């Protein structure tokens, strides 16, 4: 009766037996011990004085037997529940857990308790060889060298790893070994991000190529950026695009007085406005639908909002599309940039930051050449003869491909994998530089802060990546085998495409800045009047839809522009008069399938 009363008061009966843990066991032992002590006191004082030794021995035995019986009962119920749950007949996925610390144990418990998850935990993998062959709650710890053996012996299918600090060398080695042995990698968030303290099956994700390629977080001077943007009116052109929308998200965090979101794409801009209103309800965000090539419409924007800082991300960027539509590339990338830059000068804006590309370096295509001409123009503005009052600082940021941007290779490969392949790669040796969108925008904001005007800032893009290797890794990350489950097909270089991208033009060199990932290009200077004359001639040819004249003029403005794998390659180093008729015939719109860029 005493034990019953004590256990009732201590709520021993209220717990779920299948979820018993060490805290529950301590409570059970405490209740048994307390009831025994109370019983012992009562017996010694009132009921059976003189037999203390015998009574004490009996009570001690009772404490031991009662505690062990209750412990065994709870473990039996818990084990039975796990057995019934795991013996449901459904196929179990055999997994390893990376790590052997408290977080790894939480992951193990989370997987075992999840009703949705169907995993059999084979063991823990740790790079600390001192922990090899140890056991954590009955589950063995293995080292990285054991991965291949575990794959063969237990048919391990997946490795589960926390999706934080994936740039750590040990984690990258483990991931690379898993991909080599055909073990798929899954990521889950840290335990403090689990929903209601429990692992949700939907939080278990396939490792993405973006995770695999990410580098250490960039350290930026937050105070400098904050002082530069705080309380300012900021215009972002191309705000609904991949880079533009990330600029919006990051700029808003520095508390500008106003952001003006300008784009010609109605629906993406609408969604961006909803996102901004929901995430940053206290920010003044003005939506302005406009085409940067429409000078009068853009003048209306400047008159209404008087922006102080401009991030110019509006541009056409797809190389094959622009190779097919050179006049559109010039119209948008050159004229559009000129319009916004001229308005920035007219309205005495503090700063104009242009988002450029590594394809502007020794360009081999229309898109890269158009961006290089835009660079040349905005660099020359501070040297306007007879006008020493240009207050606007013009800054160019130049970087390579960003992971996950609209129309880029990564989402394209992801779509092809979903369809069962094949993955299309243009050339076995083609390589590109990659960085994540947030990383690129962080460096843009940092460069904008330190820029004095006229510079081109070059970002550290890390090591170039072979696109064929990228394709193979994405197939492996999906749990499939290249060339077996999904084939890789080489389609040949597209018009204007080159094998390797560069970050510096011929004759350019770089100077360091205080930020290790940002360098300043020592660019070739150009006279404003000469540049202005060239661009006016280019735009006039463009307005007449003189495609050959446009391309010839582009090559004149950018002498290092040599077409690659393109119809326009015949203009390089050959007597143009002899080939104009043939080229014009091949480019004549009625005889040529032209895809207009959106």
Q: What digits encode the pLDDT tens for the residues 155-181?
A: 888 888 877 666 667 777 888 888 888
Helices (runs of H) and strands (runs of E) counted in the chain: 21, 22
Whole-angstrom distance, CA of residue 290 vs CA of residue 450:
30
pLDDT of residue 326: 95
pLDDT at position 537: 97
Q: Could you tell me if residue 496 is left (phi over 0), alpha (psi between -120 and 50 degrees) or otherwise beta?
A: left
* Segment of 178-182, 206-210, 261-265, 512-516 carrying the highest mean pLDDT: 261-265
How many residues can be counted in the chain? 598
Distance CA 84, CA 88 (A): 7
Cβ–Cβ under 8 Å, residues 118 and 92: yes
Please give the order of strands across the beta sheet that includes 285-289. Answer: 285-289, 258-263, 233-237, 309-312, 351-357, 393-399, 456-459, 518-522, 509-512
The alpha carbon dihedral of 336, 342, 343, 349 has a sign of positive
Is residue 532 helix, strand or coil? helix
Cα separation, 403 vs 476, in Å, equals: 18
Residue carrying structure tokens 């940067």? 292
Give the Cα-Cα-Cα angle 315, 439, 361 (nearest 5 degrees).
45
**Residue 458's beta-bridge partner residues?**
398, 519
N-terminal to C-terminal alpha carbon distance within the chain: 82
State the Cα–Cα distance between residues 147 and 128, nearest whole angstrom. Answer: 14
Q: What is the 3-state secondary structure (H, E, C) of 300-350?
A: HHHHHHCCCEEEECCCCCCHHHHHHCHHHHHHHHHHHHHHHHHHHHHCCCC
What is the reported pLDDT for 184?
Answer: 86
- CB neighbour class for 535 (10 Å; exposed up to 12, middle 13-18, buried from 19): buried
Going by C-alpha positions, the residue among 559, 557, 561 that lies closest to residue 380 is 557
pLDDT of residue 263: 96
Q: Span 553-563, mean pLDDT?
A: 94
User: What is the rounded distance in angstroms from the CA atom of residue 56 to the CA atom of residue 76?
Assistant: 30
CB 108 within 8 A of CB 121: yes
Please tell me the predicted confidence (pLDDT) of residue 479. Answer: 82
In whole angstroms, how far apart are CA 383 and each of 148, 223, 386, 395, 531?
64, 31, 9, 14, 11
State the pairing for strand pair 285-289/93-98: unpaired
Tokens of 186: 């899954």
pLDDT for 144? 84
Range scoring the smallest mean pLDDT among 139-143, 158-162, 582-586: 582-586
Catalytic (active-site) positions: 359
Lowest mean pLDDT among 115-119, 126-130, 150-154, 467-471: 115-119
**What does pLDDT average to over the chain?**
80
SS3 state of residue 453: coil
Phi/psi of residue 309, nearest 5 degrees: -130, 135
Query: pLDDT confidence of 32, banded at 50, 70, 90?
Result: low
Please give the pLDDT value at position 589.
Answer: 43
Share of the chain above pLDDT 90, in %: 32
Helix, coil or strand: residue 519: strand
For 93-106, letters b (16+ CB in 10 Å) and e give: bbbbbbbbeebbbb
Residues 6+ apart with CB under 8 A from 107: 97, 99, 160, 162, 188, 191, 199
Q: Could you read off the pLDDT of 507-539 as tens digits, one per residue?
A: 556 666 767 778 887 666 788 999 999 999 999
Residue 546: per-residue pLDDT? 94
pLDDT above 90: residue 23 = no
- 553-575 burial, b at 16+ Cβ within 10 Å, e below that, comes to bbbebbeebbbbbbbbebbeeee
Per-residue pLDDT, averaged over 35-58, amounts to 62
Assign residue 453 a region (left: φ > 0; alpha: ψ between -120 and 50; beta: otherwise).
left
Q: How many CB atoms are closer than 10 A to CB 247?
A: 28
> Are 90 and 44 in contact, with CB atoms under 8 Å apart?
no
The pLDDT of residue 93 is 81
């Amino acid at each position: 009766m005493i034990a019953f009363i004590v256990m009732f008061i201590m709520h021993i009966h209220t717990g779920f037996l299948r979820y018993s843990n060490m805290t529950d066991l301590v409570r059970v032992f405490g209740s048994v011990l307390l009831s025994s002590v109370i019983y012992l006191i009562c017996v010694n004082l009132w009921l059976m004085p003189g037999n203390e030794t015998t009574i004490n021995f009996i009570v001690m035995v009772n404490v031991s037997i009662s505690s062990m019986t209750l412990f065994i009962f709870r473990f039996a119920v818990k084990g039975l529940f796990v057995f019934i749950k795991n013996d449901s007949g459904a196929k179990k996925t055999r997994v390893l857990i990376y790590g052997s610390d408290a977080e790894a144990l939480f992951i193990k418990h989370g997987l075992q308790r999840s009703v949705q998850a169907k995993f059999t935990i084979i063991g823990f993998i740790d790079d600390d060889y001192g922990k090899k062959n140890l056991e954590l709650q009955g589950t063995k710890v293995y080292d990285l060298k054991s991965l291949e053996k575990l794959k063969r012996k237990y048919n391990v299918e997946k490795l589960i790893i926390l999706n934080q600090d994936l740039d750590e060398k040990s984690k990258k080695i483990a991931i690379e070994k898993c991909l080599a042995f055909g073990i798929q990698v899954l990521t889950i968030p840290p335990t403090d991000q689990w929903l209601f303290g429990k692992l949700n099956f939907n939080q278990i994700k396939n490792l993405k190529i973006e995770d695999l390629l990410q580098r250490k977080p960039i350290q930026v001077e937050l105070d400098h950026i904050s002082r530069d943007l705080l309380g300012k009116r900021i215009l972002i052109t191309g705000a609904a695009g991949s880079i533009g929308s990330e600029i919006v998200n990051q700029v808003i965090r520095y508390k500008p007085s106003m952001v003006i979101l300008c784009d010609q794409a109605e629906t993406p801009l609408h969604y961006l406005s909803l996102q901004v209103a929901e995430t940053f309800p206290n920010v003044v965000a003005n939506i302005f639908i406009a085409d940067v090539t429409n000078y009068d419409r853009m003048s209306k924007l400047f008159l209404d909002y008087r922006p102080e800082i401009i991030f110019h991300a509006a541009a056409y960027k797809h190389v094959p599309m622009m190779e097919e539509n050179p006049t559109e590339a010039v119209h948008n990338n050159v004229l559009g940039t000129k319009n916004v830059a001229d308005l920035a000068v007219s309205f005495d804006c503090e700063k104009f930051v242009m988002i450029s590309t590594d394809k502007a370096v020794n360009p081999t295509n229309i898109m890269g050449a158009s961006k290089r001409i835009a660079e040349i123009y905005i660099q020359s503005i501070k040297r306007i003869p007879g006008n020493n009052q240009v207050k606007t600082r013009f800054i160019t940021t130049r970087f390579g491909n960003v992971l996950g941007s609209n129309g880029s290779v990564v989402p394209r490969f992801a779509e092809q994998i979903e369809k069962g392949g094949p993955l299309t790669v243009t050339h076995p040796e083609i390589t590109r530089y990659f960085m994540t969108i947030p990383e690129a925008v962080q460096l843009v904001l940092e460069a904008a802060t330190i820029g004095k005007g006229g510079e081109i800032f070059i970002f550290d893009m890390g090591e170039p990546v072979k696109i064929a290797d990228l394709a193979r890794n994405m197939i492996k990350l999906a749990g499939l085998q290249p060339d077996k489950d999904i084939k890789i097909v080489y389609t040949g270089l597209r018009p204007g495409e080159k094998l390797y991208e560069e970050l510096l033009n011929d004759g350019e060199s770089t100077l360091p800045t205080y930020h290790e990932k940002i360098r300043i290009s020592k660019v070739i200077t150009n006279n404003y009047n000469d540049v202005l004359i060239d661009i006016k001639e280019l735009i006039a040819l463009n307005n007449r839809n003189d495609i050959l004249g446009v391309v010839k003029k582009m090559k004149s403005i950018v002498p290092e522009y040599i077409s690659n794998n393109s119809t326009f390659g015949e203009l390089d180093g050959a007597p143009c008069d002899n080939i104009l008729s043939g080229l014009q015939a091949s480019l004549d719109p009625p005889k040529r399938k032209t895809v207009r860029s959106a």
